[in-house]
Amino acid sequence: MNYRKFGKDKDKVSILGFGCMRLPVVDNKYENINEAEATMMLRYAIDKGVNYIDTAYPYHGGNSETFLGKALKNGYRDKVFIATKSPSWLIEKHEDLDRFLDEQLLKLQTDYIDYYLLHALNKKYWNNYLKLNVFDFVNRALKSGKIRNIGFSFHDEYEVFEEIINYYKWDFCQIQLNYYDEDYQAGLKGLKLAGSKGIDVVIMEPLRGGRLATNVPNEVQEVFDSSKSFHSAAGWALRYLWNYDEVKVILSGMNNYEHIDDNIDEASIAKVNMLGDEEKSIIKKVKDIYKSRIKVDCTNCKYCMPCPHGVNIPGCFELYNNASVFDAFEQYKKWYRLGMKPEEWASCCQECGLCESKCPQNIEIINELKRVAEYFEKEEV
């Protein structure tokens, strides 16, 4: 495992972080974590050198922090740095900030949180935090030792990112970045701005919700295979990011041992400026292929859920995208019709718009669901 200096105290943090948003579950229910399996996997990764563990208040239906508190018993808490986040959408008054932090400390069974973030900041949440004097809370929490470092995760346009990062002396920030999304939200420009201010950066969605690592199209695999060196599709995506000095930690939602081993193998050889012209060319070719195939820029974050009318929004988009990207309409149509309940189908959308107000990617969900319904639900004559 390789490590980079991170945070105000320059902690020696693993360049690969374990994201606790996509843990193994029971009966395919997102809120029902398979705690025995997930604990073994998490400890396996920690034993192999991963020491940055990321969770948040809403992950796995609110159960991720509680799981993590139990999983880090028997000495594992002392081996890791915990990152979790203030639930921005639930903060209505100043007192809520302390209340949620105290609740999270109890759930995590710890006296302090190493890296605390204001979660999923956009213009709306940011303005609300300012109105509620969030930095009075931040400074108190830092002084008391309840949190060691303060940062934010981000989902909005670059101009909002610039406003937020210039407002306060942050210890770190977390942005979405991968070789497909270089110009999306904060993007590469935001990464460079943070670096220029000495603010360390954590990367989320390095694989676009797994899209860049699984069921790789033949034309993409052919490009990867043309390289002189072998790396998995996930390895290529991670190497692209670790190449940047400003990137200190990459979060990966690892949910099987193969993923863990592959990611750790890549992390053990990753260096700043390791990519040559050939590798950069390969990544660009692959990016161009994917750009031409994806229909909806959904990362499966599930912030849009639950839909009050029962639509499985990320599920609909996942099948729609996969059918396009992997040239497998019949396969994914079958999964759509048999793997999802009819009440979860796109056509059940009542156009209430609640999902669009929560979507970090600013997707026009209502219109896209209409396209999904036309694509999968139209009966052939």
Enter the pTM of the model. 0.82
Q: How much of the chain, in percent, has pLDDT values that exceed 70?
A: 99
Task: Please state, rounded to an integer, the average pLDDT across all residues of the chain.
Answer: 95
Nearest to 368 by CA among 320, 323, 335: 320
User: Does 61 score more than 70 pLDDT?
Assistant: yes
Which residues of the chain are in CATH 3.20.20.100 domains? 3-291
Are 183 and 162 a contacting pair, CB within 8 Å?
A: no
Mean pLDDT along residues 47-56: 98
Mean pLDDT along residues 172-199: 96
Mean pLDDT along residues 237-261: 95
User: Does 127 score more than 50 pLDDT?
Assistant: yes
Mean pLDDT along residues 104-117: 98
Q: What pLDDT score does 43 carry?
A: 98
More confident residue, 253 or 67: 67
Rounded Cα distance between 244 and 18, Å, is 20
Mean pLDDT along residues 96-104: 98
In the structure, what pLDDT confidence band is assigned to residue 89 with cuts at 50, 70 and 90? very high
Q: Which two tokens stand for residue 66?
A: 């509680």
Q: Count CB-CB contacts under 10 A for residue 100.
A: 17
Mean pLDDT along residues 100-104: 98
**CATH architecture observed for domain 3-291:** Alpha-Beta Barrel (3.20)
Q: What pLDDT score does 381 carry?
A: 38
Mean pLDDT along residues 103-123: 98
What phi and psi, each to the nearest 5 degrees, are found at residue 194? -60, -45
Nearest to 176 by CA among 298, 296, 50: 298
Q: How far is CA 204 from CA 19, 175, 191, 346, 378, in A?
A: 9, 6, 12, 28, 36
User: Does 111 score more than 90 pLDDT?
Assistant: yes
Mean pLDDT along residues 15-23: 96
In the structure, what pLDDT confidence band is assigned to residue 49 with cuts at 50, 70 and 90? very high
In the structure, what pLDDT confidence band is assigned to residue 380 with cuts at 50, 70 and 90? low
Window from 136-145, 208-217, 334-343 with minimum mean pLDDT:
208-217
Mean pLDDT along residues 243-253: 97
User: Does 53 score more than 90 pLDDT?
Assistant: yes
Per-residue pLDDT tens over the stretch 267-313: 999 999 999 999 999 999 999 998 888 899 888 888 999 999 999 99
